Structure 1
Amino acid sequence: MSRLGYDELCARLVEQTDLLAAQVAGADLTTPVPSCPGWNVGQLGRHLGGGQRWAESIVRDRPAGPPPDDSFRDLTPYRDEDPAVLGPWLRAGARGFAAALVAAGPDAPIWIPTPSTTVGVGSTFWARRFTHETLLHRADAALALGVEFAVDARVALDAVDEWMELGSLPEMLDFHPAQRELFGPGRTVHLHATDTAPEVAAEWLVDLTGEAIVWRRSHEKAAVAVRGPLSELLLMVYRRRPVEAGTVEVFGDVDLLRFWLDRVAFG
């Protein structure tokens, strides 16, 4: 369940898109994006905006299954984007999407790509998914352009929670059978954000000792513990920043940490 209410998710979707549009204003959009190999910043923006418009069509039209997702899959036509065009296009798409979400309301029975309700249902799933999709692609652009990446703690906390929830869905073991190689005695991972207030639940324990990935918000001893700023933990789990970058502290079995990150890659 999201830490953010539905109305806030809709607002944050627009906010994160506006922040991305501000990043690309006046930038060289032909700059390669290392975390999305084969794309430049302009292509990244087109991919994100196309995805938002695709999700808006789901919320608006309520199809029984996924509509065709053809737009912006082939990004070769967008190698030389103009910031003066891309920025307003991104802003307009996010506002149209948010308006469709607000009109639908939080409980609309809309198709989502998983039977699980733990990640949200209907329109709430899409509002949350694209808030954090936009956040992470904003990080991609910031890292590519060499500008600061900062994120509100509430948004980052919910982004990590959603990553944990999606990555631990039982169906992921069918989609990615190699995840079963993670399971074994004593295999636990602890993440601890060091820059949040003590009363904020900014710690996570991932338990790999059974036959499924189980996680909880908790302070517990583990085979490997990772401590660092919340934004850096977010970038690490999404594999935007490698463990070797030194932006987090690792205690214990670093090989288990790397193995876990490799097997549960998402987004």
Structure 2
Amino acid sequence: MDGLHQSTAGFAEAVAGADPDARVPTCPEWPLRVLAGHIGQAHRWAAGIVRSGPSPVPDPFDADPGRPGEWPDWLHRGAEELAEAVLAAGERPVWTFFGDRPASFWLRRMLHDTTVHRADAAIATGAAFRVAPDLAADAISEWLEILADPATPTLKPALAELRGTGQTLQLRPEAGPGWLITRTPGGVRWARAADTADVTLAGPVEDLLLVFTRRLPLGRVTVTGDRALAEHWLAHTAA
């Protein structure tokens, strides 16, 4: 829960004093006020799911974070609402897009969503962005868990394009185990492993996360092997 609060605080700092109408380069359809609205809205939406069950995915343009000076308090209240809901739920399974899971699923999902959008905010405002290596690594793993779930292509059919015939991609951080991804006819498979691959992306784990989530260009990391395979992957995981 501390991670969610810290990431939310980092987001609030990144947007402090910025133009709410400024466009977000990595979310080009959104001005900064919609990005901020999405974060607080998503935390409250997830809290509602934990407490009461599924509800329609809200439209970020419908969120009202208030005046920019009110954003920090509004954002912190949303994070606190989610943390309290998860704490109250304990081990009780709750609804997710992938079947019933422990309530902590939503805490982890919102933590990583907030972390990546904090990068969006930093890119838009020129603020500093750093993420702890263990948090960046878990964000990569969580994204791969989502992509590998059989339900995901039914929720977002474009992700079916990630299927393949055994092509492999590897993310190799400077420290710790990497990720080996295999594109199979049945979908994405992955493991924490170091091995040869058709294409390898190597660099600091923070950069790997931001390239993998299309917040930084592919050239930010070292690419060895079939670059077109990496480009295809990134093109077909676009939001």
TM above 0.5, yes or no, is: yes
Among candidates 148, 172, 176, match of residue 157 of structure 2:
176
Q: Which amino acid aligns with 2:131?
A: V
> 1:193: Cα distance to partner?
1.0
Match of 1:83 among 47, 68, 75: 68
TM-score, length basis structure 2: 0.91
Residue 57 of structure 1 aligns with which residue? 48
Q: 1:134 aligns with which of 94, 111, 114?
A: 114
Matched, 1:104 2:89: yes
Question: Given the alignment of the two structures, is residue 74 of structure 1 paired with residue 69 of structure 2, yes or no?
Answer: no
Structure number having the greater strand percentage? 2
Alignment length, in residue pairs? 238
Q: Flag structure 2 segments of 5+ consecutive residues without an equivalent.
A: none
Partner of 2:38: 47
Measure how far apart 1:179 and its partner are.
2.6
Task: Measure the CA separation in 1 of the matches of 2:23 and 2:107.
Answer: 28
Match of 1:235 in 2: 210
Asked if residue 191 in structure 1 is aligned to residue 171 in structure 2, the reply is: yes
Q: Does 1:93 align with 2:68?
A: no
- Residue type of the partner of 1:219? A
Q: For 2:43 and 2:4, locate their aligned partners in 1 and report how far apart those are by CA, in whole Å.
A: 10
Contact 1:180–1:211, Cα closer than 8 Å, also in 2: no
> What do the CA deviations read for 1:156-200 (whole angstroms, capped 9, x no partner)?
111000011001112233442663564125x11011112x3xxx3
Instruction: Give the distance between the partners of 1:86 and 1:181, measured in 2 at CA.
Output: 37
3-state secondary structure, aligned to 1:37: strand
Q: Aligned pair in 2 of structure 1 residues 96, 180: CA closer, same or farther (>3 Å)?
A: closer
Q: TM-score, normalised by structure 1?
A: 0.82
- Give the residue type in structure 1 aligned to 2:129: F
In 1, distance between residues paired with 2:135 and 2:39?
A: 18
Task: Work out the CA distance in 1 between the residues paired with 2:2 and 2:16.
Answer: 21
Distance 1:258 1:216 in 2: 21
Give the 3-state SS of the residue equivalent to 1:38 in structure 2.
strand
| Structure 1 contact 188–205 (Cα < 8 Å) conserved | yes
Unaligned runs of 5+ in 1: 1-9
| Secondary structure class of the residue paired with 1:225 | strand
Separation of aligned partners in 1, 2:201 and 2:8: 30
Q: 1:176 to 1:224 in 2, by over 3 A?
A: same
Ranges of 4+ aligned residues in structure 1 off by more than 3 Å? 68-75
Alpha-carbon distance in 1 for matches of 2:234, 2:59: 30
Alpha-carbon offset, residue 87 of structure 1? 1.4
Q: Residues 14-56 of structure 1, C-alpha deviation per residue, up to 9 Å, x if partnerless?
A: 1110111112222222221011122111210011101111111
User: Alpha-carbon deviation of 1:122?
Assistant: 2.9
- Secondary structure (helix, strand or coil) at the match of 1:39 reads strand
Calculate percent identity across the aligned residue pairs.
36
Q: Is the 8 A contact 2:43 2:81 kept in 1?
A: no
SS at match of 1:239: coil
In structure 2, relative to structure 1, the CA distance for the partners of 1:189 and 1:126 (3 Å cut) is same
Pair 239,173 (structure 1): closer, same or farther in 2 beyond 3 Å: same
**Whole-angstrom distance in 1 between the partners of 2:203 and 2:192:** 16
> What is residue 208 of structure 1 aligned with on the other side?
183
- CA contact under 8 A between 1:11 and 1:98: conserved in structure 2? no
1:113 paired to 2:97 = yes
| 3-state SS of paired residue (2:194) | coil
Matched letter for residue 85 of structure 1: E
Task: Classify 1:58/1:220 alpha carbon distance in 2 versus 1 (closer, same or farther; 3 Å).
Answer: same
Calculate the aligned-residue CA RMSD, in Å: 2.0
